[in-house]
Amino acid sequence: MLKPVVSVVVTVFNLREWIGDALASVLKQTCGARSMELIVVDDGSTDDSASIIEPILQAAPIKQALFQVHNGGPSRARNIGCQRATGEWVQILDGDDLLHERKIEIQLAASRRLGPETAVIYSDWCRLRWQGQEWVADSGAGAPRIGIDPLADLLRTENFIPTGSQLFRRSWLERVGGFDERYRLIEDGDLLMRVAMGGGGFHRVASPEPLFFYRQREGSLSRSVSREFIEGCIRNASMAEAYWRGKNSLTADRADLVASIYFQAARYFASRDKNRFDAIVDQIGNLSPRVIPQGPRHLKYASRIVGYRRAERLAVLYRRIKALAAV
């Protein structure tokens, strides 16, 4: 039997309501059943997601398998699926997201022109939000661009590449050790950054419409753990900073980019955790002798006069007084 070209790894945790749609989007792929295998990892669901998954897999016209494991988080579930993959390429899909029916076909066609140094193929994507009783698409597609400075590009918010919009070359997943199972949030960014630091290439495949649909719900993990999300952003920025320092390549532009991420985190912690705020401001100080944020305008001006640390604390005090006055 011929090996599949693409292994589709779908991870599920309490997604009974949405997993059927996700699997249907896989089975509708136009690349052909013989090109794919389907691996579903149920990460300890307690809502009987398996009762939806099993009959779909039994009727699927492609090689398929279901693994039910104790809950260990998204990184572990993805790694379990990827370790069982046999295809040259791996499509990872969270169980509440969707693929365009031509997604794999279009990206596979491009892969035939690419050398082994290409680790990730990606395309434009679209965010869907649950409003009332239906999914509503955001205006405009996500359009990431990873260029000649991939590590820096991956840190930029506008270049967010949701995991399902990509194809990973399996050999590169193995080379970098897959997802870091310590992390539940921003673990996808961490993986892509390690690929970039290892020399893996990123190739964008153009398409007339988005090829992946990222369904964002109020209960999704990235929206429910704000502090952990912010800490993940700091962690990735710190990893890039350390890498560039080690290579003696921390240019002014790269330092400004890392500092901008630290500034966003500092604003979050300013009113929540004084010690964490101070530690982040110290990190900014290690990048630039003048700790001046790019905005908001009033904070930028105040920082020039009294210093950023004091200006941010004054801003927090002002917001608290304003809130009390409004009661």
Per-residue pLDDT tens digits of the chain, which is 327 residues long: 578 999 999 999 999 999 999 999 999 999 988 899 999 999 999 999 999 999 999 999 999 999 999 999 999 999 999 999 999 999 999 999 999 999 999 999 999 999 999 999 999 999 999 888 888 999 888 999 999 999 999 999 999 999 999 999 999 999 999 999 999 999 999 999 999 999 999 999 999 999 999 998 765 555 546 899 999 999 999 999 999 999 999 999 999 999 999 999 999 999 999 999 999 999 999 998 778 888 788 888 888 999 899 999 998 998 888 888 776
| Measured CA angle at 104 (ends 138, 106), to 5 deg | 85
DSSP state of 4: P
- Residues with Cβ within 8 Å of residue 19, at least 6 apart in sequence: 10, 12, 49, 52, 53, 95, 96
Element spanning 203, H or E: strand 201-204
Structure tokens at 162: 């949701």
Could you give the CA distance from residue 49 to residue 66 in angstroms, rounded to a whole number? 11
* Residue in 221, 207, 216 with CA at minimum distance from that of residue 101: 207
The pLDDT value recorded for residue 275 is: 97
CA distances from 171 to 39, 88, 120, 145, 176 (A): 18, 7, 11, 23, 9
H or E stretch including 215?
Answer: strand 212-216
In CATH, which of 3.90.550.10, 3.90.76.10, 3.40.50.10420, 3.40.47.10 is domain 6-222?
A: 3.90.550.10
Q: In 10 A of CB 294, how many CB atoms?
A: 11
CA atoms within 13 A on the CB side of 285: 9
Strand partners, 204: 122
The pLDDT of residue 327: 63
CA Rg value for the chain: 22
Per-domain boundaries in the chain:
6-222, 226-326
3-state secondary structure of 119: strand
pLDDT computed for residue 3 by the predictor: 84
Q: Where are the alpha helices (DSSP H) in the chain?
A: 19-27, 50-59, 74-83, 103-111, 150-155, 170-176, 187-197, 221-224, 226-246, 252-270, 274-287, 297-306, 308-326
Distance CA 310, CA 313 (A): 5
At 151, which amino acid appears? Answer: L
